[in-house]
């Protein structure tokens, strides 16, 4: 069953932040290496990989255009997660409790959110 995985970070140009988000991206790509990637798009700030089963991994900096995104799993920079407004509103929109036919691995919403 397909997963929709988002990696969201603050574009602070800090070296440690840049390294952390790349480590997360590489980890997710490795975890899904058993699937054939059918589309991959890479740019300096955003990355997207789509796999044969419909699983999508997408990485981008936080912005005001995130409200249309839905995810089964969210990897988010700690700085962004610690913002109270982000916790209270955006998280429930981006990672809803019910993701319909997507693979949540039987985990609750909070179990599907990880910080880096």
> Residue 26 belongs to what H/E stretch?
helix 15-31
> Residue 115 belongs to what H/E stretch?
strand 113-115
Summarize pLDDT for 4-23 with one digit per residue, the tens. 999 999 888 788 888 999 99
Summarize pLDDT for 35-60 with one digit per residue, the tens. 999 999 999 889 999 999 999 999 99
Q: Report the domain count for the chain.
A: 1
Structural domain boundaries, residue 31: 4-115
Q: Which residues touch 102 (CB under 8 Å, ≥6 apart)?
A: 1, 2, 3, 4, 72
């Amino acid at each position: 069953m397909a997963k929709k995985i988002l990696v969201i970070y603050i574009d602070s140009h800090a070296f440690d932040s840049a390294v952390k988000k790349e480590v997360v991206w590489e980890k997710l790509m490795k975890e899904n290496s058993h699937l054939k990637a059918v589309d991959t798009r890479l740019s300096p700030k955003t990355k997207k990989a789509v796999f044969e089963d419909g699983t999508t991994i997408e990485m981008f900096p936080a912005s005001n255009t995130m409200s249309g995104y839905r995810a089964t799993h969210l990897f988010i920079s700690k700085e962004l997660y610690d913002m109270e407004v982000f916790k209270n509103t955006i998280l429930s929109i981006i990672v809803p409790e019910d993701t319909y036919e997507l693979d949540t691995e039987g985990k609750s919403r909070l179990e599907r959110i990880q910080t880096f």
